[in-house]
Amino acid sequence: MGNERDLLRTIIADHWDALKPILGRYVPDEVKSAVVSAVEKMLRCGTEANGFAQFRCPDCGALRIVAFKCKSRFCPDCGRSRAAEAAANAAGRLLNVGHRHLTFSVPCELRPLLYKNRNLLSVVAKAAAEATIHAVGTRCKAHAPLPGVMATVHTFGRDLGFHVHVHVLCTEGGVRSDEVWQPVKIFPASQYRRLWQYYLLKNLRKATKGNRSAAWIIGSLYKKHPTGFIVNVMSSYRNGRKAAAYCCRYTGRPAISVRRIVGYDGKYVTISYKDYRDNLDKTLTLTAGKFLLRLFAHVWPRYMRDVHYYGLYQPSRRKKHVEDAVNASKYHDQMRPVPAASRRERMIKALEGLELRCLECGSYVTLEHIEYAGRCYEKKVKGPPGGQQWQLSLSM
C-alpha cells in the first residue's frame, strides 16, 4: 500500500487512543459501536493479527506469510473494491433502460433529529422514493406508470458536515396498468420539490409520533419553505451501470477520498472540497480530533442499509416486475438487467492464472496453514478427560 492510502490510517492511528474514550459524547451509541468495530478492523488490515495464509517452499523450505485484508467499508484500501462490488450488485438489479439521477436534500432544521436517530434515515429514503413514484405516475392520468427507483442515502457534505441527502435513480419510464411501457422524459423540479416536502414531513411525523419537539419542528417547515425542499434533477444516463457506479461509490469506502486530504502535520488536517454554493474550490483546516469526529459521524450502524429499492425494483416483487417490463416494452429481452458476477465467479477470475513462487528459489509454494482473526481453531477430540486437542489447518 502506498503512502497516499496510508495517510488516513496514520491519522486515525495517531489519535484513536485519545478519541475512543470520549467518542460516546459526540456520536449516538449505535454509531459508536460501529466506529469502534470499523476502526479496529482497519488498523489490523494487512497484518497477521487480522489472519494470514502461510506458504512453504517444498524445495528450499522458505516460509512466506500473506496477511489478509480487513474488507471493511471504512478502510481506504479495501473500500475501493467494496464500492466497486456494491456498484456491480446494484447495476445487476437495474433494467437496461435510461435512468434519471435526482438528488433530494433534507433541510438543515431536520438534521439534528436524524443525527440522533439514524433509524429515520430509512424513512428519508422511502419519502424520496414515494415522491418520485408519485411524480412519474402523473405523466399518464389514465394509467399511472410505475417506475423503478433506487435510493441511496448519503449523510455527508463535501466538507464532511452532517448533510443528509438522497441520490435517486429513476427509470425514464414505467409499466402502466394496461401493460404498456410509458416513456417519461420530463422531470419538473418544482413538482418534485413540493412532493418531497409533503412525503418527508408526513413520514417523519408518523415515525416520531409522541415527540413534541420533533412535531413542532416539522410543523414549522411548511411556512419556512413554501415552495418545497430542494431537489436537483441531475444527469440522464443511457443505462443504470454508470449511474449505479456514481451513487454507490461511497457505500463501500469512507466519506472522504484520501486524495482530498492535502495536509497533515500530526496535529492539523487540511482537506480540499468544492463549495456547491459558489462552485469554488476551497480548503478547510481542522484539528485531527475534529476531523476524525466529523468522519466518524458518517459510519453506518451495523445492519442498517443505505441503498433501498422501490417500485419496479422492490425486492419482493422484482422478478415479476422485470418480466412485466420486458413484456410491455418493444425491446423485450434487451431490457433485462445484466446480472452481476457472483462472489464465487469473481474469486475464480481473480485466482485464474495465479502462480505463487518462492522468493528465494523461484519454485512453486504450497499452502500450509490458514488462520483467521477472532475465531477459535482448537477442536476438542471426543475421548477421556485430558484428551489431545488439535488445531485446524489446511494442508495441500
Q: Band of the pLDDT at 56, cuts 50, 70, 90?
A: confident
53 neighbors 367 (Cβ within 8 angstroms)? yes
Q: Band of the pLDDT at 394, cuts 50, 70, 90?
A: very low
Question: What is the mean predicted confidence (pLDDT) over 65-93?
Answer: 80
pLDDT of residue 393: 35
Question: What is the mean predicted confidence (pLDDT) over 69-98?
Answer: 81
Q: Which residues contact 228 (CB under 8 A, 6 or more apart)?
A: 190, 192, 193, 194, 195, 196, 197
Between CA 138 and CA 146 the distance in angstroms is 10
Question: What is the mean predicted confidence (pLDDT) over 318-331?
Answer: 86
**CA distances in angstroms from 137 to 23, 68, 110, 129, 328, listed in the order given:** 46, 49, 28, 12, 16
Q: Band of the pLDDT at 35, cuts 50, 70, 90?
A: very high
The sheet carrying 231-237 orders its strands as 231-237, 99-105, 162-171, 148-156, 307-311
pLDDT of residue 352: 60
Which residue segments constitute the domains of the chain, with CATH numbers given? 3-73+354-389 (no CATH), 79-255+298-340 (3.40.1310)
Between CA 242 and CA 19 the distance in angstroms is 38
In sequence order, what are the beta bridge partners of 345?
A: none
Q: Band of the pLDDT at 331, cuts 50, 70, 90?
A: confident
pLDDT of residue 16: 94
pLDDT of residue 247: 73
Q: Band of the pLDDT at 5, cuts 50, 70, 90?
A: low
What would the DSSP string read from start to end of 50-107? GEEEEEE-TTT--EEEEEPP---TT-TTTHHHHHHHHHHHHHTTS-SS-EEEEEEEPP
Count CB atoms within 10 A of the CB of residue 287: 12
Question: What is the mean predicted confidence (pLDDT) over 267-281?
Answer: 90
**CA distances in angstroms from 77 to 73, 80, 89, 247, 267, listed in the order given:** 9, 6, 20, 19, 23
Q: Band of the pLDDT at 84, cuts 50, 70, 90?
A: confident
198 neighbors 225 (Cβ within 8 angstroms)? no
pLDDT at 42 over 80: yes
The pLDDT tens digits of the residues spanning 296-314 come to: 999 999 888 889 999 999 9
Q: What angle do CA 324, 326, 330 make, to 5 degrees?
A: 120
The pLDDT tens digits of the residues spanning 196-233 come to: 999 999 999 999 999 999 999 999 998 999 999 999 99
Pick from 183-192, 266-275, 315-324, 327-336: least confident: 327-336
pLDDT at 327 over 60: yes
Instruction: Give Rg (Cα) of the chain.
Output: 25
Average pLDDT, the chain: 84
Across 106-245, where does the E strand assignment appear?
148-156, 162-171, 173-175, 181-183, 231-237
247 neighbors 152 (Cβ within 8 angstroms)? yes
Between CA 153 and CA 172 the distance in angstroms is 21
